[in-house]
Chains A and B, each alone.
Chain A
Amino acid sequence: MKTKYWVMLFAAVAAACVTAIVLFPLPQGVANSAELYQNGVLLCTVPLDEDTRFTVPAPDGGSNTVAVSGGRIRVEQADCPDKLCVKQGWSRTEGYPIVCLPHGLVIQPKGRQVDFDAAAH
Protein backbone atom coordinates (compact mmCIF):
# COMPACT_ATOMS: atom_id res chain seq x y z
CA MET A 1 0.00 0.00 0.00
CA LYS A 2 1.34 3.38 -0.85
CA THR A 3 2.72 5.51 1.89
CA LYS A 4 0.20 8.23 1.37
CA TYR A 5 -2.67 5.86 2.08
CA TRP A 6 -1.16 4.95 5.38
CA VAL A 7 -0.71 8.60 6.17
CA MET A 8 -4.33 9.27 5.33
CA LEU A 9 -5.44 6.38 7.49
CA PHE A 10 -3.51 7.53 10.50
CA ALA A 11 -4.55 11.11 9.97
CA ALA A 12 -8.16 9.95 9.98
CA VAL A 13 -7.65 8.00 13.17
CA ALA A 14 -5.97 10.99 14.77
CA ALA A 15 -8.82 13.23 13.66
CA ALA A 16 -11.32 10.80 15.12
CA CYS A 17 -9.45 10.85 18.40
CA VAL A 18 -9.40 14.62 18.50
CA THR A 19 -13.11 14.70 17.75
CA ALA A 20 -13.75 12.23 20.53
CA ILE A 21 -11.69 14.30 22.91
CA VAL A 22 -13.59 17.42 22.01
CA LEU A 23 -16.96 15.70 22.24
CA PHE A 24 -16.24 13.84 25.44
CA PRO A 25 -13.85 16.01 27.37
CA LEU A 26 -12.29 14.58 30.47
CA PRO A 27 -14.36 15.79 33.37
CA GLN A 28 -12.48 18.70 34.80
CA GLY A 29 -14.83 19.63 37.57
CA VAL A 30 -13.00 20.31 40.76
CA ALA A 31 -14.20 17.64 43.10
CA ASN A 32 -15.43 18.13 46.59
CA SER A 33 -15.84 14.47 47.36
CA ALA A 34 -14.34 11.19 46.22
CA GLU A 35 -15.79 7.73 45.85
CA LEU A 36 -13.66 4.77 46.77
CA TYR A 37 -14.25 1.55 44.90
CA GLN A 38 -12.68 -1.82 45.48
CA ASN A 39 -12.98 -4.25 42.60
CA GLY A 40 -15.92 -2.32 41.32
CA VAL A 41 -17.80 -2.14 44.60
CA LEU A 42 -18.36 1.26 46.17
CA LEU A 43 -16.77 1.28 49.60
CA CYS A 44 -17.50 4.81 50.72
CA THR A 45 -17.71 8.44 49.72
CA VAL A 46 -15.19 10.75 51.27
CA PRO A 47 -15.76 14.51 51.51
CA LEU A 48 -12.70 16.46 50.47
CA ASP A 49 -13.38 19.49 52.61
CA GLU A 50 -11.94 17.98 55.76
CA ASP A 51 -8.37 16.83 56.09
CA THR A 52 -8.27 13.20 57.05
CA ARG A 53 -6.30 10.00 56.73
CA PHE A 54 -7.47 6.41 56.75
CA THR A 55 -6.44 2.95 55.65
CA VAL A 56 -8.26 0.77 53.19
CA PRO A 57 -7.58 -2.94 53.57
CA ALA A 58 -7.24 -4.94 50.40
CA PRO A 59 -8.72 -8.37 49.80
CA ASP A 60 -5.28 -9.88 49.48
CA GLY A 61 -4.24 -8.72 52.91
CA GLY A 62 -2.46 -5.57 51.85
CA SER A 63 -3.62 -2.03 52.39
CA ASN A 64 -3.58 1.51 51.05
CA THR A 65 -3.39 4.56 53.24
CA VAL A 66 -5.48 7.35 51.79
CA ALA A 67 -5.00 10.98 52.74
CA VAL A 68 -7.21 14.00 52.14
CA SER A 69 -5.75 17.46 52.46
CA GLY A 70 -6.55 20.87 51.05
CA GLY A 71 -9.39 19.58 48.91
CA ARG A 72 -7.26 16.89 47.30
CA ILE A 73 -6.90 13.18 47.81
CA ARG A 74 -4.09 10.73 47.27
CA VAL A 75 -2.75 7.36 48.24
CA GLU A 76 -0.11 8.18 50.77
CA GLN A 77 1.16 4.71 51.37
CA ALA A 78 0.60 1.36 49.79
CA ASP A 79 2.17 -2.03 50.20
CA CYS A 80 1.58 -3.04 46.61
CA PRO A 81 4.78 -3.81 44.69
CA ASP A 82 4.71 -1.05 42.08
CA LYS A 83 3.25 1.81 44.13
CA LEU A 84 1.93 3.39 40.97
CA CYS A 85 -0.99 4.63 42.98
CA VAL A 86 1.31 6.56 45.28
CA LYS A 87 3.24 7.93 42.33
CA GLN A 88 0.06 9.31 40.85
CA GLY A 89 0.13 11.89 43.56
CA TRP A 90 -2.71 14.21 44.47
CA SER A 91 -5.95 14.40 42.61
CA ARG A 92 -8.59 17.03 42.83
CA THR A 93 -10.51 16.57 39.61
CA GLU A 94 -13.00 14.07 38.31
CA GLY A 95 -10.81 13.38 35.31
CA TYR A 96 -7.97 12.03 37.39
CA PRO A 97 -8.93 8.87 39.25
CA ILE A 98 -6.21 7.21 41.32
CA VAL A 99 -5.87 3.50 40.83
CA CYS A 100 -4.10 0.79 42.77
CA LEU A 101 -4.33 -2.19 40.50
CA PRO A 102 -2.96 -4.91 42.73
CA HIS A 103 -5.49 -4.02 45.40
CA GLY A 104 -8.30 -3.24 43.03
CA LEU A 105 -8.70 0.19 44.57
CA VAL A 106 -10.05 3.08 42.52
CA ILE A 107 -10.38 6.56 44.01
CA GLN A 108 -12.76 8.54 41.87
CA PRO A 109 -13.09 12.21 42.75
CA LYS A 110 -16.55 13.48 42.00
CA GLY A 111 -17.07 16.79 40.30
CA ARG A 112 -18.40 19.71 42.22
CA GLN A 113 -21.63 18.77 43.86
CA VAL A 114 -24.37 21.23 43.36
CA ASP A 115 -23.86 24.21 45.57
CA PHE A 116 -26.99 24.29 47.62
CA ASP A 117 -28.59 27.59 48.40
CA ALA A 118 -30.11 25.95 51.46
CA ALA A 119 -30.60 22.57 53.03
CA ALA A 120 -33.95 21.45 54.37
CA HIS A 121 -33.25 19.33 57.42
Chain B
Amino acid sequence: MPLRTDTSVRRLTRLALLTAVALCIHLLEGQLPPIFPVPGAKPGLANVVTLYTMFTIGPGDTLLVLLSRILLGSVFSGRATTLFYSLAGGLLCFAVTCLLRRLLPLRQLWVAGILGGICHNIGQLAVAIAITRTPALVVYLPWLLLCGMGTGLFTGLCARFFVKKLPGKYKTW
Protein backbone atom coordinates (compact mmCIF):
# COMPACT_ATOMS: atom_id res chain seq x y z
CA MET B 1 0.00 0.00 0.00
CA PRO B 2 1.30 3.43 -0.93
CA LEU B 3 1.16 4.48 2.69
CA ARG B 4 4.01 2.39 3.77
CA THR B 5 6.32 3.74 1.16
CA ASP B 6 5.94 7.23 2.59
CA THR B 7 8.86 8.24 4.68
CA SER B 8 7.86 8.27 8.30
CA VAL B 9 8.51 11.97 8.73
CA ARG B 10 6.31 12.88 5.83
CA ARG B 11 3.61 10.63 7.04
CA LEU B 12 3.89 11.92 10.55
CA THR B 13 3.69 15.50 9.40
CA ARG B 14 0.72 14.85 7.23
CA LEU B 15 -1.15 13.06 9.97
CA ALA B 16 -0.21 15.68 12.49
CA LEU B 17 -1.53 18.44 10.27
CA LEU B 18 -4.72 16.58 9.65
CA THR B 19 -5.13 16.02 13.36
CA ALA B 20 -4.51 19.68 14.02
CA VAL B 21 -7.11 20.74 11.49
CA ALA B 22 -9.64 18.30 12.86
CA LEU B 23 -8.88 19.49 16.36
CA CYS B 24 -9.41 23.12 15.45
CA ILE B 25 -12.72 22.41 13.79
CA HIS B 26 -13.77 20.31 16.75
CA LEU B 27 -12.89 22.94 19.31
CA LEU B 28 -14.46 25.74 17.32
CA GLU B 29 -17.75 23.96 16.80
CA GLY B 30 -17.76 23.23 20.52
CA GLN B 31 -18.12 26.92 21.15
CA LEU B 32 -21.43 27.00 19.37
CA PRO B 33 -24.46 27.13 21.67
CA PRO B 34 -26.38 23.89 21.78
CA ILE B 35 -29.44 23.97 19.58
CA PHE B 36 -31.00 20.87 20.90
CA PRO B 37 -31.05 20.08 24.55
CA VAL B 38 -29.38 16.81 23.72
CA PRO B 39 -26.12 16.97 25.58
CA GLY B 40 -23.05 16.73 23.43
CA ALA B 41 -24.96 17.22 20.20
CA LYS B 42 -22.44 18.66 17.80
CA PRO B 43 -22.69 19.22 14.07
CA GLY B 44 -19.75 16.90 13.63
CA LEU B 45 -17.97 19.11 11.13
CA ALA B 46 -14.61 17.65 12.05
CA ASN B 47 -15.62 14.57 10.16
CA VAL B 48 -14.50 16.38 7.03
CA VAL B 49 -11.02 15.37 8.01
CA THR B 50 -12.08 11.80 8.66
CA LEU B 51 -13.63 11.59 5.22
CA TYR B 52 -10.71 13.22 3.52
CA THR B 53 -8.17 11.04 5.25
CA MET B 54 -10.17 7.89 4.67
CA PHE B 55 -10.43 8.46 0.95
CA THR B 56 -6.90 9.69 0.31
CA ILE B 57 -4.82 7.76 2.77
CA GLY B 58 -6.56 4.83 4.31
CA PRO B 59 -8.50 3.46 7.24
CA GLY B 60 -5.55 2.75 9.51
CA ASP B 61 -4.19 6.26 9.54
CA THR B 62 -7.68 7.71 9.60
CA LEU B 63 -8.26 5.88 12.82
CA LEU B 64 -5.05 7.32 14.21
CA VAL B 65 -6.04 10.83 13.31
CA LEU B 66 -9.53 10.32 14.67
CA LEU B 67 -8.43 8.96 18.02
CA SER B 68 -5.75 11.56 18.42
CA ARG B 69 -8.18 14.33 17.66
CA ILE B 70 -10.73 13.01 20.11
CA LEU B 71 -8.22 12.52 22.87
CA LEU B 72 -6.56 15.87 22.43
CA GLY B 73 -9.91 17.51 21.96
CA SER B 74 -11.13 16.45 25.34
CA VAL B 75 -7.83 17.40 26.94
CA PHE B 76 -7.78 20.87 25.41
CA SER B 77 -11.39 21.65 26.09
CA GLY B 78 -11.17 20.24 29.56
CA ARG B 79 -14.26 18.19 29.04
CA ALA B 80 -13.78 14.59 29.95
CA THR B 81 -17.38 13.78 29.22
CA THR B 82 -17.30 14.84 25.62
CA LEU B 83 -14.75 12.06 25.22
CA PHE B 84 -17.53 9.54 25.17
CA TYR B 85 -19.66 11.57 22.86
CA SER B 86 -16.91 12.25 20.41
CA LEU B 87 -15.84 8.63 20.53
CA ALA B 88 -19.33 7.41 19.89
CA GLY B 89 -19.97 9.80 17.05
CA GLY B 90 -16.53 9.60 15.54
CA LEU B 91 -16.09 5.85 15.69
CA LEU B 92 -19.50 5.19 14.27
CA CYS B 93 -18.80 7.61 11.46
CA PHE B 94 -15.46 5.92 10.91
CA ALA B 95 -16.95 2.46 10.78
CA VAL B 96 -19.57 3.43 8.26
CA THR B 97 -17.12 5.34 6.09
CA CYS B 98 -14.75 2.40 6.24
CA LEU B 99 -17.39 0.09 4.92
CA LEU B 100 -18.39 2.50 2.20
CA ARG B 101 -15.01 3.38 0.85
CA ARG B 102 -15.00 0.56 -1.66
CA LEU B 103 -18.31 1.57 -3.06
CA LEU B 104 -18.14 5.27 -3.58
CA PRO B 105 -16.56 7.18 -6.40
CA LEU B 106 -15.39 10.71 -5.72
CA ARG B 107 -18.55 12.29 -7.02
CA GLN B 108 -20.51 10.32 -4.47
CA LEU B 109 -18.43 11.32 -1.50
CA TRP B 110 -21.35 13.34 -0.22
CA VAL B 111 -23.13 10.04 0.38
CA ALA B 112 -20.45 9.10 2.85
CA GLY B 113 -20.84 12.53 4.37
CA ILE B 114 -24.54 12.08 4.96
CA LEU B 115 -24.26 8.56 6.25
CA GLY B 116 -21.46 9.64 8.51
CA GLY B 117 -23.57 12.50 9.77
CA ILE B 118 -26.48 10.16 10.48
CA CYS B 119 -24.31 7.71 12.38
CA HIS B 120 -22.53 10.48 14.21
CA ASN B 121 -25.75 11.85 15.63
CA ILE B 122 -27.24 8.46 16.41
CA GLY B 123 -24.12 7.65 18.34
CA GLN B 124 -24.29 10.88 20.30
CA LEU B 125 -27.95 10.45 21.12
CA ALA B 126 -27.36 6.89 22.26
CA VAL B 127 -24.59 7.97 24.59
CA ALA B 128 -26.67 10.88 25.90
CA ILE B 129 -29.57 8.58 26.68
CA ALA B 130 -27.29 6.06 28.31
CA ILE B 131 -25.47 8.55 30.51
CA THR B 132 -28.43 10.62 31.64
CA ARG B 133 -30.75 7.64 31.72
CA THR B 134 -33.42 9.71 30.05
CA PRO B 135 -34.86 7.51 27.32
CA ALA B 136 -37.28 10.36 26.62
CA LEU B 137 -34.48 12.10 24.75
CA VAL B 138 -35.13 9.77 21.85
CA VAL B 139 -37.86 12.19 20.81
CA TYR B 140 -35.04 14.30 19.36
CA LEU B 141 -33.93 11.56 16.98
CA PRO B 142 -35.76 12.79 13.88
CA TRP B 143 -34.51 16.34 14.45
CA LEU B 144 -30.95 15.17 14.93
CA LEU B 145 -31.14 12.97 11.88
CA LEU B 146 -32.34 15.79 9.70
CA CYS B 147 -29.62 18.10 10.95
CA GLY B 148 -27.08 15.32 10.73
CA MET B 149 -27.97 14.70 7.15
CA GLY B 150 -27.67 18.39 6.43
CA THR B 151 -24.27 18.85 8.00
CA GLY B 152 -23.21 15.50 6.62
CA LEU B 153 -23.95 16.67 3.12
CA PHE B 154 -21.93 19.76 3.81
CA THR B 155 -18.96 17.86 5.17
CA GLY B 156 -19.15 15.41 2.30
CA LEU B 157 -19.09 18.19 -0.26
CA CYS B 158 -16.25 19.93 1.54
CA ALA B 159 -14.28 16.70 1.70
CA ARG B 160 -14.77 16.23 -2.02
CA PHE B 161 -13.59 19.77 -2.63
CA PHE B 162 -10.46 19.18 -0.61
CA VAL B 163 -9.71 15.88 -2.24
CA LYS B 164 -9.89 17.50 -5.63
CA LYS B 165 -7.89 20.58 -4.75
CA LEU B 166 -5.27 19.25 -2.40
CA PRO B 167 -2.39 17.09 -3.52
CA GLY B 168 -3.09 13.45 -3.02
CA LYS B 169 -5.01 10.88 -4.87
CA TYR B 170 -8.50 9.69 -4.28
CA LYS B 171 -8.41 6.05 -3.43
CA THR B 172 -11.22 3.61 -3.10
CA TRP B 173 -9.16 0.51 -2.46
Contacts and interface: CB of A to CB of B under 8 A. Distances in A.
B2 interface: no
Contact of B141 (A20, A37, A96): A20
A101 B39 contact: yes
Nearest to B111: A6
Interface stretch (B17-25, B46-54, B75-83, B157-165): B75-83
Interface in B128-156: 128, 131-134, 136-137, 139-143, 145-146, 149
Interface in A69-89: 80-82, 84, 87-89
A82 B38 CA distance: 14
Interface residues of A: mostly helix, strand, loop or mixed?
mixed
Contacts of B118: 13
- Counting chain B CB atoms within 10 Å of each CB, the highest count among A1, A17, A26 belongs to A17
A92 B101 CA distance: 45
A87 B34 contact: yes
Interface of A: 1, 3, 6, 10, 13-14, 16-18, 20-21, 24, 26, 37, 39-40, 80-82, 84, 87-89, 91, 95-102, 104, 106, 108
